[in-house]
Structure formats: structure tokens, C-alpha cells
Amino acid sequence: MTTAPGQTTAAIAARRRAAELMTGRVREVLTRMRRERARITFAAVSRRADVSRTFLYQNEGARRLVEEAAAEAAGQFTADQSARAAQLELSWRERALNAEDLAKSAGEEIRAQRRQIATLLGRVRDLEGNLPADAVQRLVSENTTLKVQLRQQTQDNRALEDRLKGARDNNRFLDKRITDLEVEILRFRQDEGER
């Protein structure tokens, strides 16, 4: 059975139009997937554009569109991950710095309290012999109050140091987690590339 040259030309033109329509659908789907930040793979594009994977692999234009979009999406994903990791690291660093500042100011406050106590104890000893009995009792109670305040400041300082240590531990854990996730992403990309 032979076909007329006019029929062959019409069939070729029909195939070209069909390929152009399918390529147009692929273009539209890729645009939507970029907007949605969806993962771009040949299988996903094939499903959403309602074209066969064979068409995507064999049609030069469609294959190039998918490969370029996938590369662009991978770069965007990496940039997004880096931005998120940097933002997370900044927040943990800020918390750690805040905790350090609080620990320093608590330490300064404790040193100031100790100096004050030493000064007051010196005054008490100087005046102890010259004061009546009730004045000594008053000074002893003030001294007790100052010791309680010192104990409280010391406890606050320990709590701040514990918070700082916890923030540093969290920061180290998150740094390790980010590294693990980056390795996992690289492995995933390599697995995808092998397919």
C-alpha cells in the first residue's frame, strides 16, 4: 500500500502540530511548577502536561525545556536551603550572643555585690564596738539580706550560664543537622541524576 506524497506531507504537518501543542502544554506546566516551586522531573511534567515520557525524552525542544527548568529549580532549591540555613544560624547566634551578654552583666552585678558586701562588712567591723546592741542586730540583718541577694545573683548567673551552654549545644546540633541535610540533598540529586 503506497501513500500519496500529499498525504505524507499532511501527516508530517499533523505530527508537527501535535508536537507543538504538546510542547506548549509542557511549557505551561513548567511555568506553573516554577511558580508553585514544585519538584521538576520528567515523570512529574509528563503527568501534569498529559504527555508521554517518551515524547519528553525524544522531542529535543521538550527535553531541553524540562532539563533547563529542572536545573533552574535545583539551583533555586539550593539557594532557598542556604537562605533558610543562614537565617536559622543567625537566630541561634543572636540567642547565644544575648545569653552571653546576660551572663556577662550578671557576672558584673555579682562582682559589684561582692564589693558592696566587703565594704559594708568593713564598716560594720569599724562601727561594731561603738554602736548599741540593737544597731548591731540591724546591721547583721542587713548583712543577711545582702547575702541572700548574693546567693540569688549567683543562682541567676548559673541559670544564665546553663542557658548559654544550651544555646551553644543547640547551635552545634543545628549546624550538624544542616550539614546532614545538605549531604542528603546531594545524595538525592545524585540518585535523581542516575535515573
pLDDT of 3 above 80: no
Question: What 8-state DSSP symbol labels residue 37?
Answer: T
Q: State residue 69's pLDDT score.
A: 87
Q: What is the signed CA dihedral for 128, 134, 137, 138, rounded to 10 degrees?
A: -100
pTM of the model: 0.38
- Per-residue confidence at 122, pLDDT binned at 50, 70, 90? confident
Compute the average pLDDT of residues 29-43.
86
pLDDT of residue 155: 95
Q: Look at residue 182 in the predicted model and tell me its pLDDT.
A: 92
Of 94, 100, 85, residue with least CA distance to 174? 85
Residue 70 burial (CB count, 10 A): 19
Instruction: Please determine, for residue 172, whether its predicted confidence score (pLDDT) is greater than 80.
Output: yes
According to the model, what pLDDT value does residue 181 have? 92
